[in-house]
Structure 1
Amino acid sequence: MPNTGFALPGVPTPTPEAFRQPLRQLLERTLGTRRTAQRRLHQGQGQPVIVFPRQHTGPESTAALRTVLEESGFRAHDWGQGMDQGPGTMGLNRWLRKLEECVIDVFEATQAPVTLLGWGLSGIYARELAKRANPLVRQVITLGTPFNTTADPQRSCKVLALLDSAAERLPLAVRHRLRQTPPVPCTSIYSRDDGLVRPEQCCERDSAETENIELSGVRHEELATHPRALEVITHRLAQPEDRWEPFEQAVRLHA
């Protein structure tokens, strides 16, 4: 069969990939995503998010994450309290009252509901702040946060132990409160290979606005920079304010 195509002398014939790449870039701009070497990052439109650090660390532990979020079009804010050593003698309730000021400040500055993103112990802060200031909070995302206190009956979790550092141990009523779901959408990202908290401590009860997403082979200190976690986080943040759907469901629908 004769070849009906043609090529100019000295000009290489375009390969299929040469056509695919511009098309892929066009689709990513249309869908609001961009690709890294390993994962897709969803693009934002200035949605605000407060990023809380991992226990015993400060802003440096979330600097890489906040940079990714800023480059993806979101407004990422540090929590403004330096290193997280737990509430200490202040106690959890007074500590949350202090952190609530940051939520109010970001809401007033952006005039938009704020996503709270907590890592380890600070995920407890994020969840409790969402209960206290839920009209100002859009959603909560946690990374390796052991909020399910029923999975730690012996109080052996080293992360939760930081809440028992005040003059008295955390009352049972407060521990019960910690596992109650905030009145906003919640996404819990966790790993069975965390090494610091057990996966069952990080699992939320199933509902229309909760989701537990498991990562494989990820240590606790790696959760904020893992490519899969970044894809999930940016997807959560990029969703329209009036519509929330589970990440896994969205991936199936738009695959």
Structure 2
Amino acid sequence: MSQLGLVTPGTPAPPRDVLRQPLRKLLGQAFRTRQTPAGHLYEGNGQPVIVFPRQHTGPESTAGLRGLLAEAGFRPHDWGLGDGAGARRMGLSRWLRKLEECVIDVFEVTQEPVTLLGWGLTGIYARELAKRTNPLVRQVITLGTPFNTAADPQRQCKLMAMLDTGPERLPLAVRQRLRQRPPVPCTSIYSRDDGVVRWEQCVDQETADSEHIEIAGARHEELATHPRALEVITHRLAQPEGQWRPFAADGRATLHA
């Protein structure tokens, strides 16, 4: 092998898969897009993502989303815990410890930091898991998740009430902790027409690695299938690791090589 990395005469050719590695790395640094019946999507390069179901539902609620993500080139995983009713039985802390195993399992299989995608109440779990398993998590994406507890001082949010009614009522200190942003990039997708949570609970002050994106006219149960939301989700997932940038304010993502 010469100093330039070229194969010299008489040198055995490296395995074909080795030759492909630089190309894979190069392709991973740029966005690839396509238009589908679901809308404008960004293509992945095998990036892993755990998709948490909407509250009161199981994996069937995200089957379509996971199928679309797999078709677009990502590696989606269900959380493997059914409808998530365990949080009400065992309390938030014990439930999060159980969910940590899911993040660890996916990381061990893929050997890559994992994106956590939560919907409604499960977005709370995704954010808290990112705090607890930070080195294993690449970013968090939430759909209609009421993490801003300061916007609900009277505790009227029905989703958060599901945590309040467990064996351990959430004390004020815990509610304040839920507001704290995870130490990874965060994207909150929300709608003023959600119908389940107030949009003010899905936003807080944006930072260099956090953003809030409104999906006009979408109901809570539509946030995982709305074409605009799918565009945002796939763009977030397709970004090269360590190069997170906010979605363009004009409604179309800026492509970076």
The answer to whether TM tops 0.5 is yes
Does 1:235 find its partner at 2:235? yes
Maintained 8 Å contact 1:52/1:118: yes
Deviation per CA, 1:185-215, whole angstroms, max 9, x where unpaired? 0000000000000000000321000010001
Deviation per CA, 1:158-196, whole angstroms, max 9, x where unpaired? 010111122231111000000000000000000000000
**In the alignment, which residue of structure 1 is the partner of 2:186?**
186
Aligned-partner SS, 2:116: strand
Does 1:116 find its partner at 2:116? yes
Aligned-partner SS, 1:248: coil
Matches within 5 A, 1:135-214: 135-214=135-214
Bigger CA radius of gyration: 1
**In the alignment, which residue of structure 2 is the partner of 1:72?**
72
Maintained 8 Å contact 2:235/2:253: no
Aligned-partner SS, 2:243: coil
Q: For 2:114 and 2:254, locate their aligned partners in 1 and report how far apart those are by CA, in whole Å.
A: 26
Aligned-partner SS, 2:224: coil
The code of the aligned residue for 2:158 comes to K
The code of the aligned residue for 1:98 comes to K
The code of the aligned residue for 1:240 comes to P
Cα distance, 1:86–1:159 mapped onto 2, change above 3 Å: farther
Q: Which has the higher contact order (CA 8 A, sep 6+)?
A: 2
Q: Using the TM superposition, give the Cα deviation of residue 242 of structure 1 relative to its aligned residue in structure 2, in angstroms.
A: 1.5
Q: Using the TM superposition, give the Cα deviation of residue 86 of structure 1 relative to its aligned residue in structure 2, in angstroms.
A: 5.5
Cα distance, 1:227–1:252 mapped onto 2, change above 3 Å: closer
Maintained 8 Å contact 2:31/2:239: no
Cα distance, 1:132–1:252 mapped onto 2, change above 3 Å: closer
**Identical pairs, percent:** 72
Structure 1 gap segments, 5+ residues each: 1-29
Q: Using the TM superposition, give the Cα deviation of residue 89 of structure 1 relative to its aligned residue in structure 2, in angstroms.
A: 2.9
The code of the aligned residue for 2:104 comes to I
**In the alignment, which residue of structure 1 is the partner of 2:55?**
55
Q: Using the TM superposition, give the Cα deviation of residue 38 of structure 1 relative to its aligned residue in structure 2, in angstroms.
A: 5.9
With normalisation by structure 2, the TM-score equals 0.85
Q: Using the TM superposition, give the Cα deviation of residue 83 of structure 1 relative to its aligned residue in structure 2, in angstroms.
A: 0.9
CA RMSD of aligned residues (A): 1.6
Maintained 8 Å contact 1:188/1:204: no
Q: Decide which moves more: 159-168 or 124-133.
A: 159-168
The code of the aligned residue for 1:69 comes to L
Maintained 8 Å contact 2:134/2:183: yes
Q: Using the TM superposition, give the Cα deviation of residue 248 of structure 1 relative to its aligned residue in structure 2, in angstroms.
A: 1.6
Paired positions, count: 226
With normalisation by structure 1, the TM-score equals 0.85
Maintained 8 Å contact 2:90/2:167: no
Q: Using the TM superposition, give the Cα deviation of residue 252 of structure 1 relative to its aligned residue in structure 2, in angstroms.
A: 5.9
Structure 1 runs, 4 residues or longer, greater than 6 Å off: none
**In the alignment, which residue of structure 2 is the partner of 1:41?**
41
Cα distance, 1:38–1:51 mapped onto 2, change above 3 Å: closer
Maintained 8 Å contact 1:192/1:217: yes
Q: For 1:48 and 1:63, locate their aligned partners in 2 and report how far apart those are by CA, in whole Å.
A: 16
Q: Using the TM superposition, give the Cα deviation of residue 84 of structure 1 relative to its aligned residue in structure 2, in angstroms.
A: 2.3
